[in-house]
Every structure is written in C-alpha cells, then in structure tokens.
Amino acid sequence: MTYGEKHIGGTLLKVDNITLAFGGVKALTDISFEIREHEILAIIGPNGAGKTSMLNVINGFYHPQQGRIEFRGVERKAMRPHLAAKQGIARTFQNVALFKGMSTLDNIMTGRILKMKSNIFQQAIYWGANQREEIAHREVVEKIIDFLEIEAIRKTPVGRLPYGLQKRVELARALAMEPDLLLLDEPMAGMNVEEKEDMCRFVLDVNDEFGTTIALIEHDMGVVMDISDRVVVLDYGRKLADGPPAEVRANKDVIDAYLGVSH
C-alpha cells in the first residue's frame, strides 16, 4: 500500500442486515458490512447488484424495510438526505447531479450551505457579518478548487464542461461539505485513462490529507485493486465477499459472479 502510515480506525458506519425491496423486487437482501474510519472501501459487483441502492440507503434517499444503520456508534432513525448531509455524509452521483446553470464556483459554494451559521433572515439584514461569512467560506472553496486543479473553470457554467471535469466539480462540491464520510458513485465512469489517473490521485489525496473516510463504487478493477483498503462485493442484492483486495480477487464466488459459471 502506498500510504503506509495510514491508521485505519474503528467503525464509522455499520449496516446490519439491510433488506430493501421495491414492490416484489428485492434490491438488497440481508446486507451487513462496516465502513471503518479513514479507510477507502470499494463496493463492487456486476450491473444491477444493488451498489447504488446501498449508497442511497446510507445517504437516506431509500429507506430499507429491515435492518439497522449505525453511524458513529449511534443507531440512526429513518433518515432524510439533508439530515444525512448534516451529520457529515457527502456524496456524488453516478450520472453527475450538478446545478447546470450555475458556475463551478457557485456549485461548490452550495456545499458550504450547512456550514453557514446565519439563517436566511439574518442574511437579509446583517450586511457586514453576512459578507464576512461569505468571504470566509469562499476561502475554503478556493482551497478546494486549487486542490482539485480546477482554477481555470471557476466561472464557467458547469453545463458547458466536459464530463470528466463535471465529475471533478461534483467531487469538489462534496469536499466543500468537509464530510466525515464521502460516498462516491462511480467517480471514474466514462473517463479516459489520464482522467482516471487524476481522479485516483485526488481520491487518495483526499483520504490521506483530510483523513476522510471514503466508500466508492467502481467498475474498473485495476482502480479498485490499486486504491482501496477493503472491498465489498455485491451480486443480485446479496453480499458475496468482504475483505482486502487481494483476498477478494482470489475468492471463487467473486470470480464466478464476474465471469459466469457453468452449472
């Protein structure tokens, strides 16, 4: 592992026997795993395995019929997405969900909304304090912009950016929330090799410099094996394997799921 001195801590988030169904279709069956502090956890599996559903459950978009989720050792009640955001869970989406008419800068600034203290009424009245706060947040955002090397597109409406850069802006917006847990849904999908390498570097740097815990979904096995500390494998809504990359790669069930098996 490249970052040898990293200390993976205790459990940050634990999902326990999660079952999620849409009508008669079971998207997730009895899934349990944990995400540990400061680690990079990859969730992999064939298409339709339930990976994104899993992220949506953690993030509060979906509500599982059964099971428990513990975050920082406290059992979570039915969760709404903006409450999850408040607790320190940020995410990106599989099919980029940015505010397309807004500039890169404004998009990232939305990530600061929860960190802003004054409420809307104060914002309307207290010019001075309001402005100072805006400037302080702008500084944080500028650092993130430098970090992700997107200075040049600061003022560009994101709808005009190429896909690879949009993904980067989305990551920037999530980072602006200074999350404890960052969920990345296929951060490298649709990228060329160079863009993928950049993105890998950013993910590793975020994890290393800010100590952010990251759970990511990815299809590129090279990437997964390189950057993740642990891998969870899903298939048809069930968990197949859970462990360090090398171990998972050798797992017979996993190989069968990916290559198909003759019965």
Partner 1 sequence: MNPTAMRFGLWVAFVPVLIAVIGLALQGLAMTDSALFFDWAFYLEVLVAGLLQGVLYSLVALGFVLIFKASGVFNFAQGSMVLFAALTMVGFIEMGLHWTLAFVVTAGVMVLVAIAVERVVLRPLVNQPHIILFMATIGIFYFLDGFGQMLWGSDVKMLEIGIPKQGLTILTDVFEYGIRINAFDLVAALVGAALVAVLAVFFQYTRVGRALRAVADDHQAALSVGIPLKTIWAIVWSVAGIVALVAGIMWGSKAGVQFSLALIALKALPVLILGGFTSIPGAIVGGLIIGAGEQVAEVFLGPLVGGAIQEWFAYMLALAFLLVRPQGLFGERIIERI
Rounded to a whole number of angstroms, the minimum distance from the CB of residue 64 to partner 1 is 18
Distance separating alpha carbons of residues 108 and 142, to the nearest angstrom: 9
Smaller CB separation from partner 1, 66 or 95: 95
Residues in contact with partner 1 by CB under 8 A are 59, 61, 80-82, 85-86, 90-91, 93, 97-102, 106, 109-111, 113-114, 116, 120, 123-124, 130, 134, 157, 159-160, 173-174, 177
| Choice between 19 and 123, CB closer to partner 1 | 123
**Is the separation of the CB atoms in 112 and 137 below 8 Å?**
yes
CB atoms within 10 A of CB 201: 12
Please give the order of strands across the beta sheet that includes 66-71.
25-36, 11-22, 66-71, 74-75
Whichever of 144 and 233 has its CB closer to partner 1, that residue is 144
Tell me the closest approach of the beta carbon of residue 123 to partner 1, in angstroms.
4
Closer Cβ to partner 1, 1 or 83, answer by number: 83
CB of 153 to partner 1, least distance (A): 14
Instruction: State the nearest-atom distance from the C-beta of 215 to partner 1, in Å.
Output: 14
Minimal distance, residue 104 CB to partner 1, in Å: 13
Q: How far is the CB of 185 from partner 1 (least distance, A)?
A: 11
The least distance separating partner 1 from the CB of residue 82, rounded to whole angstroms, comes to 5
Q: Among 54, 173, 153, which residue's Cα sits nearest to residue 110?
A: 173
Nearer to partner 1, 46 or 164 (CB): 164
| The Cα angle at residue 91 between residues 40 and 58, in degrees rounded to 5 | 80
Query: Which of 114, 225 has the CB closer to partner 1?
Result: 114
Residue whose CB is less far from partner 1, 97 or 255 = 97
